[in-house]
Amino acid sequence: MSFVSEFKEFAIKGNVIDLAVGVIIGGAFGKIVDSLVKDIIMPVVGLVFGKLDFSNLFVVLGSIPPDYHGSMSYADLTKAGVALFAYGNFLSIGVNFLILALIIFLMVRYINKLKRSSTPPPAPREDLVLLREIRDSLRK
């Protein structure tokens, strides 16, 4: 079998195509969950804890240059080359991951439930069918 035909057989298999579709949909779904966390959930959590923007939660680890006159925001300090421990951004990404994992778990759980309800019960074994026929013929 040539390399090209072997690759064609591999690429056309259903599993590879299903995987590609899953990756594309997963990327788009990840953006939706990211927006949900960033635009809806984190502002509510921030309101409860008193900080509206978790991405600006950080601890300055390095020294700020003496000639620096910008704001004390994460973006500006990072541009100035100051070492920062940015735990707020990590917190946002962690919440994003937990929500995404929960949604995927619920989806897989629902799909498994649908699979269980849609599969017909297995056919009885042949010996059981034969025994039932004998039983039914003896009842007559």
> Residue 14 domain-assigned?
yes
**Which residue, among 82, 92, 85, has the nearest Cα to 54 in the 3D structure?**
92
Full DSSP string of 77-117:
HHHTT--EE-HHHHHHHHHHHHHHHHHHHHHHHHHHHHHHH
| Tokens (6 digits) for 112 | 């498994």
* pTM, 2 dp: 0.54
- SS3 (DSSP) at 81: coil
- The residue segments making up the domain with residue 20 are 3-52+86-139
Ranges 7-11, 70-74, 77-81, 111-115: which has the least confidence: 7-11
Task: Provide the percentage of residues in the chain whose pLDDT is more than 70.
Answer: 95
- pLDDT at residue 28, rounded to an integer: 86
> Residue 80 domain-assigned?
no
Given a contact cutoff of 8 angstroms between Cβ atoms, the answer to whether 88 and 55 are in contact is yes
- SS3 (DSSP) at 72: coil
> Residue 46 domain-assigned?
yes
84 forms bridges with which residues in the sheet?
60
> Residue 123 domain-assigned?
yes
Residue 29 and residue 49: Cα distance in Å, rounded? 28
Q: How many CB atoms lie within 10 A of CB 1?
A: 6
**CA distances for 36 relative to 30, 49, 55, 62, angstroms:** 10, 19, 15, 33
pLDDT for 2-61, tens place per residue? 888 888 777 777 677 778 888 888 888 888 877 887 788 777 877 887 765 677 788 888
> Residue 61 domain-assigned?
no
Given a contact cutoff of 8 angstroms between Cβ atoms, the answer to whether 87 and 57 are in contact is yes
- pLDDT at residue 70, rounded to an integer: 84
> Residue 69 domain-assigned?
no
> Residue 130 domain-assigned?
yes
Q: What is the average pLDDT value for the chain, to the nearest integer?
A: 82
> Residue 75 domain-assigned?
no
The structural domain count of the chain equals 1
- pLDDT at residue 51, rounded to an integer: 63
For residue 15, the domain's CATH number is: 1.10.1200
Residue 101 and residue 106: Cα distance in Å, rounded? 9
